Amino acid sequence: MTTIRTRSQLISGSARDTPADKMTLRVWLRLLTSAQLIERHIRSLLRREFDTTLPRFDVLAQLDASNGVLSMSELSERLMVTSGNVTGLIDLMEEDGLVERVPHSTDRRSTLIHMRARGETLFSRTVPAHQDWVHEIMADLTGDELRELHRLLGKVKTSALDLRVRQGRGARER
């Protein structure tokens, strides 16, 4: 008799079909699906309402949280993307007058990204709408449910970061 094994069983080398294992995969899929649906919705609204993109919004949000200035490497780390991705994005944002590159005053190897007035204006216009959209998405959750979801997702994030450290990849994403 031939036993049919799933892809995950082949990868792990063991049969993982306990109820807890199945639930773990179901939660992971629900988390991914939810994140993708929310992101797709926010991307669409940013494009339609403000003619901008989620990556641009994310850059402006990171700059705003840092008093308008970050190095390219800090920005890359905060956005959890490669420096190459940030470079291309900053090129386009600089062309549109949203940000500017400025040489670092004490480190010649580093370039600082400053938010320009046009970037500040765009960000100040998008933030209230973004907050409304997120509140609308989460409207069916009570305050207690939101706090519990936040706590549980924090545990998942910590576990993922700890796993990266244990596997020697560092804790770059905080």
Domains and CATH numbers, the chain: 52-131 (1.10.10.10)
Is residue 53 within 8 A of residue 43, CB to CB? The reply is: yes
Q: 84: closest CA among 73, 94, 93, 95?
A: 73
Residue type, 144: D
Tokens of 173: 């994403």
List the one residue out of 15, 99, 20 whose CA is nearest residue 56: 99
Beta bridge partners of 71: 112
Q: What is the structure's pLDDT at 10?
A: 45
Which is higher by pLDDT, 172 or 168? 168
Element (H, E) at 147: helix 143-166
Confidence of residue 82 (pLDDT cuts 50, 70, 90): confident
Res. 169: pLDDT tops 70: no
AA letter at 127 = V
Q: Is the confidence at residue 174, as pLDDT, over 50?
A: no
pLDDT digits (tens, 9 = 90+) for 49-58: 999 999 999 9
* pLDDT band at 131; cut points 50, 70, 90: very high
Report the distance separating Cα 9 and Cα 18, nearest Å.
Answer: 12
